[in-house]
Structure 1
């Protein structure tokens, strides 16, 4: 690789260099069409993606391509000045800026600086214990999709308190590096507009790459919500793609990955020394905008920057001429400003001194060492900040082989972990390719808990509901921490529910679908499936129970997530009693995606059992959304309890958010009976295999602050109830599978069972490949696909070719509802259910066919 990595040349030098997109353009026929600056701003690279083979790589963002810090900061600052000019001084005074993680956190911060005294917040993918979530959204096309909003001041998203009450609602400025389809930004605006309506939004991006159809969609969206939506971009254009580009791109990526090493070989035989520098970061200044960054914070940082840069320069020594300041994923702004200050201190205008800036990233991109390709080299290292989505690889691009005399790695204290310093960690990888590694650690800012007013003792919560008064299960088998809403009319036609859910008019937990009544043919299929799979289910029940007893014994408290987890919890209880003579307590509680867990149910459990003994149980994993939801909900609950003084020093350990499941085809948990994706008969039916209990309900007019979530008991369906038949059929096989269970449990306990999150990656790929752009509408696995066919308005079913008898009920339901089944080869699940992303009455799908059920 040449001394200068791809895209690092200054504007004066670009005349003599090859465009860093020519390698892709020549091989795939991809072309950038737009204004004259587009090629200066963007290069091209490749990634393994069935929907979009190419990747636009910015030369001025400071993410994948090292660039002068002053150039990166200047681009964002100039965009902020343009927004200020667009709004006018008075309206700009009411602006709040929101940036997107991870790529645009630094860009958004620079835009806020250019606006002059605008407070700034960026979304984050890192949950922070003790900080209450103010919102969140999904970004389906991204490598990592879940965005959280965690402002310290929850009023920040509502308005500008410093602007005065007479100023009215704030103008929201949303900043991303690239505006392609606009889905993410429009979804964000819709979500926040429902919470805090405002009259004006401004979207800011380095490049606007929308199609004419996407531009029309923005216009219609603004009219729909009754607000003005402006767009400010550095440059604009489109990407022209020839026919067959996806197939050619995939083949090209596969060929290159087969030839290229994961990381380039070390450039020096002796790794560089790693030196820690004490920055003396100013007290009270956040490390970034994760929880908000105010004008007061900005002023304090600006005054401290020269001293901070002097300390870095002193630690580098006088013989260093070419320096890279390397930020860390979302931590972009602080390293960027350290870089701009270091340019001033080192006299970077001098011919023999150069400072560059880039950051590490989660995004996997193909590297090709060619001047006409934007990503010349990549360093691969393990994540080092205990990410919420589990361990995985991280990347630094265009660092190896770029000729840096020194690299200043800037991380926050939450990421200063043993993994960072490990032999295969980031610091070791950097040390192989430079003469000196400097580590600068910025204190991770965690907001202080808000003062909590004196809390009155909560009312005494009721005892759990039990059969036969509530559910057809035996009273000792499960206690339902729910309230009985059996006399409330909650059912709505499936099509009406789907329309309301996707339009944002209602949450799925505010109503119930009409209970599916199986046809005689379908009931016979369930019976046959139960007979064929009872031994396999028994083996998985035994394996997961033995694992729980070994790791969480001696007397765990089983708490199933209603309702799919409840039959599994009952079976685990039966196994423990049959094999070990244990009478394990078992309860069922409600968790709602997007709304969290029933906090009152947790309080009841904490009052009656040691939280450390609680083991949460679910039926299966799909993409892992509930796994993440539970972890975030438990963290928020326990932070709230600590803040309210409900747990004192020396108190018992808190709830463990890990879930034990019967089947984990998504690779989302470490406690499971199997990771195969096969038919679990309890997924075939609704309440009639779950004790005649509905799914749970959470609606403000029915569930008060001191109530359990609600559910219905369908007593009238007793004639069709097979809940007891399911339990008996599986339990009858316990002795038969006992030896297999002992061997499998022993093997599992000795194995590495770390979650792989393979399912989440597959869902993201499918979401993009089929143009859905919303991971919540992709339901992977036999269990989730069954739910789509029973409860939602399905678009189509993807079935793994050769899946066999496990999908007979799926094919039958699909035939009954007129839903096409598409056979596919490359699928980690047996099947996947797709809900159409634009469901309306009379709508058509991407294939031009009417959406089923519309």
Structure 2
């Protein structure tokens, strides 16, 4: 495209001349028609010519403010037609893919009406409210998939928005189908241009009489296209001729009109928008006035992030939307246009499925074409997609905006959209809007956003691992957001691991301890402890679950911190199902002290659920190290990825350290799931994070110890506790009433106690002090214990601890006024120069 013709709106030559002269097509009507429309040819067996809108923001880059205002002003006209009360009761329906943004803008003009657009992307689990065919289109099937089935069932006017109203077949077929299911008295058709032929103009009144309703039409301009006989055949022949010439010119290296790529490809970077949590990416499942207000409040900050990421010298910027995703990039473009200084030109257009012939002629509407593979994998299958009037247009930067479903390997491929753009502009920014998934949908987006500022991403994060292939739990009990490292040797002798960890030569998460095999005597203790404490655990499970449902979310997404949290998450899920009939999703993720939570797992969760519904779970608190780790990790994740909404507060079964607000009890008692390792946790190891095993786009790892199936007590533990739910219901109700009316602010008294013990015993490292029954048990099973501190008078809760200590030759020291039932001290062998409380050196 020649520089003097960069913006078709500045051309003195009408962009429909080329087609009009060769095919005898005439555009007649209002004076503004030529300002609004150009002409092109396309490969379509049903209609050769294409009316190319200059104000729609689809094929021709245009000022985003002008695009939005055009639709907004049409909406104001509809509001004047209906009156304010009528506007409140109206529903706006837009057509995919071309008019999705226009329909949104019309709904903005009404100001009070919800919006829905048709879609060609099937979403399983969402009830269809209707569907129809677009007879002249290249992709005909339209679906109506509102999240709330009653959206189209009101008695107010239905406002149907399309870019052009020509024969009227598509709109009238839609009204007829919807009127049979959701009859109403008033329909308003809105279009940029009314291009009906004289023969079609009487059909609207006839149709209104047929269905017994009022049907109005509002358009920005009106006219008609006069088509000579035989135009379809002539147009197809003309398209074929120029496509052959184009192919031959490329083969001979003489394609003078082809856009010349940059000598060096431009840069590709990712920018994080900070899209508001729970805000739909568009109107595919409905967009309410409340959503609109939420978006308005977030736009300035999102536009500022885009402005900060753009090159300082970029003076001509294109915001490029993606097929049906037109409104979000349009509004981002409007906000960016307002933010940029004078002399900076912001333009907006979107990619499309529609194949159109491109010719670099000032009298033709489509001057250049980029072709790239489809990257919307859940859509209507593979094939070519197109971006028009972008190549050769002199853009200094392009902001490509897609939803997370479309952020696939195909997008980032060498022949993908980003690479095609980078060949023609110095800077490409990718902004990903989270795909909105209705609660009823069984389909979920395949991908989540990649690492920030990365030009490459994995094809997709894998689906969760489930039993029986990974873990002995039933597949519906938990999905593990982990990778299976079962075939990798990771175990090392306990003393060897301890030396490496304390000397700083290795992180504890880089290897696994040799799995403890309990003796017959120890297994008997576990069974006895389970029988004695099952009811107490059941009450704590009920209390924490009811607190979560009351305070956090009525339909929470349970996310256990693997692995101690996993049995608790399963029990909470069972309580919600048995007591409330809720089928809550439950996942297990990895968190590693000093390394944070698995960021890829968070990305997967954000792509599949509303982060605001996620509730992180653990078995118990000790000194609160993981509580602090999670809070810091979530803060860093939000800053790096721009994905917000995760609540870092952990819910736990037992909170003896007073580290959290949401708990089942603050007593430090024996939780039998702490007595064993994998054999009470679905035969799963603790998690592993090692650079040579876990890549940038991988989940953290873990092992499935299938060989320990004969010793597996996982199901026994779950069943023993859930069997007691019925008998503790009344006690749970009383306890929860007290909890909800009590100040449960953390006091962190456990952390203070650990610091005191660390100093008194000359350890000087709080990481070697493990408070509470659960943590003490872990020390005895996994680490090199030095001594055990037991609260004076502690009874059966410590029987298993005393047995393990005896087996490992570890002294148990009774201590008065200990805030925990017991505390395990790890051998400070590599804490040089340390002395114990009795003054003896503890360095070995």
Q: Is structure 2 residue 135 aligned with structure 1 residue 140?
A: yes
Secondary structure of the equivalent of 2:199?
helix
Q: Is structure 2 residue 386 aligned with structure 1 residue 395?
A: yes
Contact preservation (8 Å) 2:124, 2:441: no
Question: In structure 1, what is the equivalent of residue 663 of structure 2?
Answer: none
Q: Which has the larger radius of gyration?
A: 2
Secondary structure of the equivalent of 1:396?
strand
Match of 2:211 among 225, 234, 256: 225
Match of 2:198 among 203, 207, 212: 212
Q: How much does 1:647 deviate?
A: 12
Q: Is structure 2 residue 2 aligned with structure 1 residue 2?
A: yes
Match of 2:277 among 272, 276, 283: 283
Match of 1:383 among 374, 385, 391: 374
Inter-partner Cα distance in structure 2 for 1:413 and 1:445: 9
Question: In structure 2, what is the equivalent of residue 46 of structure 1?
Answer: 41
Instruction: Give matches, 1:258-273, under 5 Å.
Output: 258-261=244-247, 264=258, 266-273=260-267
Contact preservation (8 Å) 1:171, 1:201: yes
Rate the CA distance shift 1:181–1:273 in 2: closer, same or farther, 3 A: same
Q: Is structure 2 residue 433 aligned with structure 1 residue 442?
A: yes
Inter-partner Cα distance in structure 1 for 2:107 and 2:313: 36
Inter-partner Cα distance in structure 1 for 2:365 and 2:405: 31
Secondary structure of the equivalent of 1:230?
strand
Inter-partner Cα distance in structure 1 for 2:402 and 2:441: 27
Secondary structure of the equivalent of 2:202?
helix
Deviation by residue 1:178-215 (Cα, 9 ceiling, x = unmatched):
10101110111011111111000000000011112222
Contact preservation (8 Å) 1:6, 1:375: no
Contact preservation (8 Å) 1:170, 1:198: yes
Rate the CA distance shift 1:648–1:205 in 2: closer, same or farther, 3 A: closer
Question: In structure 2, what is the equivalent of residue 241 of structure 1?
Answer: 227
Q: Is structure 2 residue 242 aligned with structure 1 residue 256?
A: yes
Match of 1:343 among 337, 347, 361: 337
Inter-partner Cα distance in structure 2 for 1:343 and 1:425: 27
Deviation by residue 1:749-783 (Cα, 9 ceiling, x = unmatched):
xxxxxxxxxxxxxxxxxxxxxxxxxxxxxxxxxxx
Match of 2:54 among 54, 59, 78: 59
Inter-partner Cα distance in structure 1 for 2:45 and 2:349: 28
Contact preservation (8 Å) 2:92, 2:160: yes
Inter-partner Cα distance in structure 1 for 2:382 and 2:44: 21
Q: How much does 1:245 deviate?
A: 2.4
Match of 1:180 among 145, 157, 166: 166
Question: In structure 1, what is the equivalent of residue 121 of structure 2?
Answer: 126
Q: How much does 1:216 deviate?
A: 1.3
Match of 1:365 among 312, 336, 356: 356
Inter-partner Cα distance in structure 2 for 1:176 and 1:120: 13
Inter-partner Cα distance in structure 2 for 1:118 and 1:184: 23
Secondary structure of the equivalent of 1:212?
coil
Match of 1:428 among 408, 411, 419: 419
Match of 1:307 among 281, 287, 301: 301
Contact preservation (8 Å) 2:164, 2:191: yes
Q: How much does 1:649 deviate?
A: 8.6
Inter-partner Cα distance in structure 2 for 1:39 and 1:648: 55
Inter-partner Cα distance in structure 2 for 1:62 and 1:24: 21
Question: In structure 2, what is the equivalent of residue 324 of structure 1?
Answer: 318
Inter-partner Cα distance in structure 2 for 1:305 and 1:222: 41
Match of 1:411 among 402, 408, 416: 402
Q: How much does 1:119 deviate?
A: 0.4
Q: Cα RMSD (Å) of the superposition? A: 2.2
Rate the CA distance shift 1:221–1:260 in 2: closer, same or farther, 3 A: same
Match of 1:193 among 148, 171, 179: 179
Q: TM-score, normalised by structure 1?
A: 0.50
Q: How much does 1:105 deviate?
A: 0.1
Inter-partner Cα distance in structure 2 for 1:96 and 1:392: 34
Deviation by residue 1:643-678 (Cα, 9 ceiling, x = unmatched):
99899999xxxxxxxxxxxxxxxxxxxxxxxxxxxx
Q: How much does 1:252 deviate?
A: 1.3
Question: In structure 2, what is the equivalent of residue 98 of structure 1?
Answer: 93
Question: In structure 2, what is the equivalent of residue 566 of structure 1?
Answer: none
Inter-partner Cα distance in structure 2 for 1:646 and 1:342: 43
Inter-partner Cα distance in structure 2 for 1:117 and 1:154: 19
Q: How much does 1:81 deviate?
A: 0.4
Inter-partner Cα distance in structure 2 for 1:6 and 1:376: 9
Secondary structure of the equivalent of 1:384?
coil
Contact preservation (8 Å) 2:266, 2:422: yes
Q: How much does 1:99 deviate?
A: 0.1
Rate the CA distance shift 1:5–1:387 in 2: closer, same or farther, 3 A: farther
Contact preservation (8 Å) 2:38, 2:53: yes
Rate the CA distance shift 1:79–1:644 in 2: closer, same or farther, 3 A: farther
Question: In structure 1, what is the equivalent of residue 104 of structure 2?
Answer: 109
Deviation by residue 1:491-524 (Cα, 9 ceiling, x = unmatched):
xxxxxxxxxxxxxxxxxxxxxxxxxxxxxxxxxx
Q: How much does 1:50 deviate?
A: 4.2
Secondary structure of the equivalent of 2:393?
coil
Instruction: Give matches, 1:621-700, under 5 Å.
Output: none
The number of equivalent residue pairs is 443
Q: Is structure 2 residue 23 aligned with structure 1 residue 32?
A: no
Inter-partner Cα distance in structure 1 for 2:71 and 2:28: 23
Q: Is structure 2 residue 365 aligned with structure 1 residue 374?
A: yes
Inter-partner Cα distance in structure 2 for 1:254 and 1:341: 42
Q: How much does 1:48 deviate?
A: 2.6
Inter-partner Cα distance in structure 2 for 1:257 and 1:434: 25
Q: TM-score, normalised by structure 2?
A: 0.51
Question: In structure 1, what is the equivalent of residue 344 of structure 2?
Answer: 353
Q: How much does 1:137 deviate?
A: 1.0
Rate the CA distance shift 1:644–1:183 in 2: closer, same or farther, 3 A: farther
Deviation by residue 1:162-184 (Cα, 9 ceiling, x = unmatched):
xxxxxxx1210000001010111
Rate the CA distance shift 1:37–1:154 in 2: closer, same or farther, 3 A: same
Rate the CA distance shift 1:94–1:272 in 2: closer, same or farther, 3 A: same
Q: How much does 1:7 deviate?
A: 5.6
Inter-partner Cα distance in structure 1 for 2:134 and 2:61: 26
Contact preservation (8 Å) 1:407, 1:436: yes
Instruction: Give matches, 1:523-534, under 5 Å.
Output: none
Inter-partner Cα distance in structure 2 for 1:302 and 1:260: 45
Secondary structure of the equivalent of 1:260?
helix
Inter-partner Cα distance in structure 1 for 2:214 and 2:367: 42
Inter-partner Cα distance in structure 1 for 2:355 and 2:242: 14
Rate the CA distance shift 1:315–1:174 in 2: closer, same or farther, 3 A: same
Q: How much does 1:411 deviate?
A: 0.2
Contact preservation (8 Å) 1:6, 1:20: no
Contact preservation (8 Å) 1:119, 1:295: yes
Q: How much does 1:317 deviate?
A: 2.8
Inter-partner Cα distance in structure 2 for 1:4 and 1:115: 39
Bigger relative CO (Cα 8 Å, ≥ 6 apart): 1
Q: How much does 1:129 deviate?
A: 3.0
Secondary structure of the equivalent of 1:60?
coil
Inter-partner Cα distance in structure 2 for 1:379 and 1:194: 42
Question: In structure 2, what is the equivalent of residue 203 of structure 1?
Answer: 189
Question: In structure 1, what is the equivalent of residue 82 of structure 2?
Answer: 87
